[in-house]
């Protein structure tokens, strides 16, 4: 395309063009006379050594620039260089002058908060604990779960129940954060720690899926919960009503199970195993086991057979009836798409990407996403996260046909989301949100236990509220600690409590879980936010052009080699 047009008075008319893909494609652009590459944009897939799929979108734009007035053009070049130099100088001044002390102070605070937030997961471990477990008031527990076949995993919150759905979500999110920000984790000495947390969860998730066998052909089993909130046949005590350390449990812990129609639960487990396989890509045997299990489960829960019906796990009493009160699912297509997306990253198999792109469009057309969940990513809604991942695929790999309809829709959604963040009101809110959690709020209280000088002392948590005195405490004795006004005898370091109400009021009372109870899914979001906001490594290694940001831009594409 010609962008230079000469008139009699030697002026030059410059035009900007956007490709039919709806965005600029700078990585393959060429100026006939002058070639400039400032490495400001992701490299094209060709530069990464990947083969390209055919696309109906143009991947390059040829510019023919005619310079008719060299004197003016030189002035333009000199002026541009001067502006660039000024910007560089200003950036250096902002980095090294008065901001330096405050800048590194903030980094130190985020480092401490991140390290503490990871410790919380060690406090939530169930099963035979590792000898080097950092939480001293915890011991082995839940050793008979599922007749010993479901030992391990994490207690969800302040009670002693293990919910599979939020556990899988937690492992997916933590794995994603490691895939993106492993240089940051490594710099602060927490990479091995978070990988051990993820493996603790992924090991447990592998136990939740029982493949069909000869005795029950075509029927798979998914375990959705260990522990109970209601009465059981042998005891009136349960994991919700009994205030007892997990180490002291002697009551029966029922197990809830589902079949392959629990689509949302299956989709989240698939996503977790697939994302974790990328975290452990250097351990080929373990990574392959995770991926293989995810593929098998995906084939079962997405099968196209007459009479097979997909659905939500909480709609069936025997499957998620008790979880309904805590983690009620309102849709399942977003989880299946979520699982397919991560399986594509884990395997590079384009059949999963095709499933993802086709079904995301269908889910949007059917308006499965609740209006109150628009733009929110959490355990019940994966739409926003799905669109972010597909937008990333579009910009970094530019796959084009036949995925462009879903890619374009995803990009538009992400654009709208980013614009909402940049609005005056949202920009101010987003800028203070982590500071709010860490103490910059009307209560002047950090909602992360152990961070700053003022934080909750009466966290709604059984293990933290009962003394670690090598004595067995019954449920009745535990109730005394639930109602005690004394601070918890054990510090639940790094636990983010639920926090204040809409009026910024917070009551630090143990018997009010809507204020003081933490959960693994919430802490996973906290960890992801803290590592994203953390400063990049001071001595960045080669990270495919993103070292200055502390992000591994292409690690998520490790297994994608398209023909």
pLDDT tier at 557 (50, 70, 90 boundaries)?
A: very high
How high is the pLDDT of residue 81? 59
DSSP state, 399? -
Distance CA 313, CA 164 (A): 11
Indicate the range of 8-12, 256-260, 272-276, 325-329 predicted with least confidence.
8-12
Give me the percent of the chain exceeding a pLDDT of 70.
74
How high is the pLDDT of residue 136? 94
- Record the pTM: 0.80
pLDDT tier at 491 (50, 70, 90 boundaries)?
A: very high
Average pLDDT over all residues of the chain:
81
How high is the pLDDT of residue 360? 86
- Judge contact between 195 and 545, C-beta under 8 A: no
12 exposure class (CB count in 10 Å sphere: 0-12, 13-18, 19+): middle
The first and second tokens of residue 122, run together, are 């060690």
How high is the pLDDT of residue 214? 61
Mean of the pLDDT values across residues 470-498? 94
Residues in the chain: 563
For residue 263, which phi and psi values (nearest 5 degrees)? -65, -40
Q: Which neighbouring-strand residues pair with 209?
A: 222
CA distances from 559 to 284, 288, 552, 562 (A): 12, 12, 14, 9
**Is there a catalytic annotation at residue 473?**
no
pLDDT tier at 554 (50, 70, 90 boundaries)?
A: confident
Mean of the pLDDT values across residues 33-55? 36
Cβ count near 125 (within 10 Å): 24
Distance CA 504, CA 425 (A): 18
The first and second tokens of residue 340, run together, are 């397919």
Distance CA 111, CA 113 (A): 6
pLDDT tier at 345 (50, 70, 90 boundaries)?
A: very high
pLDDT tier at 409 (50, 70, 90 boundaries)?
A: confident
Cβ contacts of 292 within 8 Å, gap of 6 or more = none
Instruction: Select the more confidently predicted residue: 44 or 135.
Output: 135
Half-sphere exposure of 325 (CA within 13 A, CB side): 8
CA distances from 113 to 120, 497, 522 (A): 11, 14, 14
Which residue out of 16, 182, 458, 460 is catalytically annotated?
460
Question: What are the DSSP E strand ranges found in 318-415?
Answer: none
- Judge contact between 194 and 206, C-beta under 8 A: no
How high is the pLDDT of residue 423? 65
User: What's the start-to-end Cα distance of the chain, in Å?
Assistant: 30
pLDDT tier at 368 (50, 70, 90 boundaries)?
A: confident
């Amino acid at each position: 395309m010609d962008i230079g047009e000469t008139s009699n008075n030697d002026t030059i008319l410059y035009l900007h063009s956007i490709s039919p893909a709806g965005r600029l494609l700078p990585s393959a652009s060429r100026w006939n006379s002058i070639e400039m590459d400032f490495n400001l944009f992701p490299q094209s897939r060709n530069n990464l050594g990947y083969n390209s799929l055919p696309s109906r979108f143009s991947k390059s734009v040829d510019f023919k620039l005619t310079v008719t007035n060299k004197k003016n053009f030189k002035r333009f070049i000199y002026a541009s260089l001067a502006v660039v130099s000024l910007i560089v100088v200003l950036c250096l001044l902002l980095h090294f002058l008065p901001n330096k002390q405050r800048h590194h102070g903030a980094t130190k605070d985020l480092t401490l908060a991140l390290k503490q937030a990871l410790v919380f997961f060690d406090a939530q471990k169930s099963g035979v604990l590792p000898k080097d477990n950092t939480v001293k008031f915890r011991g082995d527990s839940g050793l008979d779960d599922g007749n010993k076949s479901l030992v391990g995993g994490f207690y969800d919150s302040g009670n002693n129940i293990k919910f599979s759905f939020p556990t899988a979500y937690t492992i997916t999110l933590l794995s994603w954060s490691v895939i993106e920000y492993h240089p940051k984790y490594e710099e602060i000495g927490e990479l091995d720690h978070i990988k051990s947390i993820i493996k603790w969860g992924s090991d447990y998730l592998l136990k939740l899926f029982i493949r069909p066998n000869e005795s029950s052909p075509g029927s798979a089993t998914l375990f959705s919960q260990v522990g109970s909130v209601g009465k059981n046949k042998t005891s009136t005590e349960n994991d919700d009503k009994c205030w007892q350390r997990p180490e002291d449990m002697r009551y029966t812990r029922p197990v809830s199970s589902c079949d392959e129609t629990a689509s949302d639960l299956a989709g989240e487990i698939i996503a977790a195993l697939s994302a974790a396989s990328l975290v452990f890509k250097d351990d080929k045997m373990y990574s392959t086991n995770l991926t293989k299990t995810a593929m098998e489960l995906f084939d079962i829960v997405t099968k196209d057979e007459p009479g097979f019906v997909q659905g939500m796990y909480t709609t069936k009493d025997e499957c998620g009836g008790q979880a309904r009160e805590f983690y009620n699912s309102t849709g399942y297509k977003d989880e299946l798409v979520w699982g397919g997306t991560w399986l594509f990253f884990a395997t590079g198999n384009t059949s999963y990407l095709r499933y993802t792109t086709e079904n995301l469009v269908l889910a949007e057309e059917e308006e499965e996403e609740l209006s109150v969940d628009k733009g929110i990513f959490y355990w019940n809604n994966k739409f926003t996260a799905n669109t972010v991942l597909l937008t990333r695929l579009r910009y970094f790999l530019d796959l084009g046909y036949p995925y462009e309809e879903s890619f374009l829709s995803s990009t538009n959604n992400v654009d709208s989301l980013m614009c909402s963040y940049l609005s005056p009101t949202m920009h101010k809110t987003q800028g203070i949100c982590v500071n709010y959690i860490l103490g910059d709020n009307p209560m002047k209280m950090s909602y992360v236990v152990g961070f700053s000088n003022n934080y909750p002392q009466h966290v709604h948590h059984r293990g933290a509220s009962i003394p670690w005195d090598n004595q067995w405490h019954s449920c009745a004795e535990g109730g005394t600690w639930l109602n005690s006004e004394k601070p918890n005898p054990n510090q639940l370091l790094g636990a983010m409590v639920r926090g204040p109400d809409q009026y910024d009021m917070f009551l630090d009372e143990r018997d009010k879980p809507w204020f003081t109870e933490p959960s693994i899914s919430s802490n996973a979001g906290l960890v992801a936010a803290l590592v994203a906001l953390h400063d990049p490594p001071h001595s960045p290694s080669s990270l495919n052009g993103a070292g200055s940001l502390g992000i591994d831009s292409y690690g998520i594409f490790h297994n994608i080699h398209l023909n």
